[in-house]
Structure formats: C-alpha cells, structure tokens
Amino acid sequence: MRVLTDIFPDVFIIELTSFKDDRGYFFESFQTERYRTHKIETHFVQDNFSHSKKNVLRGLHFQIEKPQGKLIFVGKGKICDVIVDIRPHSATFKKYMKVELSETNHKQIYIPPGYAHGFCVLSEGADVMYKCTEFYHPELERGIVWNDPDLAIDWSVENPILSPKDAVLPRLKDIIL
C-alpha cells in the first residue's frame, strides 16, 4: 500500500497492492492497523454502496455539525471523484482536487471531515463503496451545486445526470458554513 497526497495534505490517495495471477487478483481493501500507520482515521461507523450509470453525477455533499470522513473505493467501473475544501479558515478554502478511481487502478481516497464530496461516472456504470466516520444525518446534509462558477470544476463529463435535489443545490458563496 502506498499513500500519496495532492493539494490537500490531509486527503490521502491510497494505492492498494494487488496480487494477480491467471485466476484474477486479490487485495486487502481495508486493514485497520495499516491505515492507522498512515494516520488515516479508522473508526468507521457506516458503509455505503451506490450503483450509478454513465454520466451520473452525485454531489457535492457534506454534513454540518457532524461531518463525515470518507474512505472511497470503486469495485466496478470508473469515476471522477471530486473533493472541495469547505473550511472557511483553511489556506485551501474553495480549492478542489479530483482523482480517477476505478476497478483497474485499485485506488482509494480518504477524505477527512471538512470537505464536500461528489463523483461522476465515466464508465457504462460504477459501483462505489465508502466507509464513513459519522452516521448519515439527513437533517444535517447540505450540498453545493455541481457547476458552481466560483469553483469551476472540470467534471470530465459534459451533460451529467443529476438527482432533482442535486440539480437545485446552492452555490458555495450562498451557504453559511
């Protein structure tokens, strides 16, 4: 397992070690001690799974008061995963990063609390799994519209398929954090 960072020093891109042979491949998708060694939160309380078809865009979501840290992994397909720093006093406030996660690159991303998260599906379909450090609280859920011009995120998809809820999310500048 190799752990990398990008523009956010507390967001980790994890490259898993896989063992391949003529039958297929095997890898550990999570092992508490190994993640703790890299200072990655390992107290997960909820596992989520989503299946989405091509061009579906989910997000950008976050929770106020009880924010979630997330460990994201793609079991099937390929996604463009996007993280936005929504911590007002952070040096990287309003910055975003994106990472391609797929069934072939076996990458994961760990996102600590304090970030908005979303993804769009680049393959015909994708199965996305993620572990969360806090329970889902619908009354605390918030979001940022996917095409917020102040963020100017390149989602790698031209005409995304959105839920009715995600289509009418506010811009970041209109949210009280």
H or E element in which residue 24 lies: strand 24-26
35 is catalytic: no
Residue 27: pLDDT band (50, 70, 90) is: confident
Pick from 96, 97, 51: nearest CA to 77: 51
pTM of the full structure: 0.93
Average pLDDT along the chain:
94
Q: How many residues does the chain have?
A: 177
On the question of pLDDT at 176 being above 90, the answer is: no
Q: Sort strands 107-111 and 70-76 into parallel, antiparallel or unpaired.
A: antiparallel
Which position among 35, 61, 96, 110 bears the catalytic label?
Answer: 61
Tell me: the pLDDT tens digits for 134-166?
Answer: 999 999 999 999 999 999 999 999 899 999 999
How far is Cα 131 from Cα 129, in angstroms, rounded to an integer? 7
pLDDT on residue 98: 96
Q: Give the sheet arrangement for strand 141-143, strand by strand.
A: 96-102, 78-85, 115-121, 57-63, 141-143
Burial pattern 12-32, b for ≥16 Cβ within 10 A else e, equals: bbbebeeeeeeeeeeeeebee
Q: Are 58 and 163 in contact (CB under 8 A)?
A: yes
Which position among 35, 96, 110, 130 bears the catalytic label?
Answer: 130
On the question of pLDDT at 38 being above 90, the answer is: no
pLDDT on residue 29: 86
110 is catalytic: no
Tell me: the pLDDT tens digits for 97-133?
Answer: 999 999 999 999 999 999 999 999 999 999 999 999 9
What are the chain's domains? 44-174 (2.60.120.10)
How far is Cα 167 from Cα 173, in angstroms, rounded to an integer? 17
Q: Which tokens in the block code for residue 164?
A: 């009715």
Residue 93: pLDDT band (50, 70, 90) is: very high
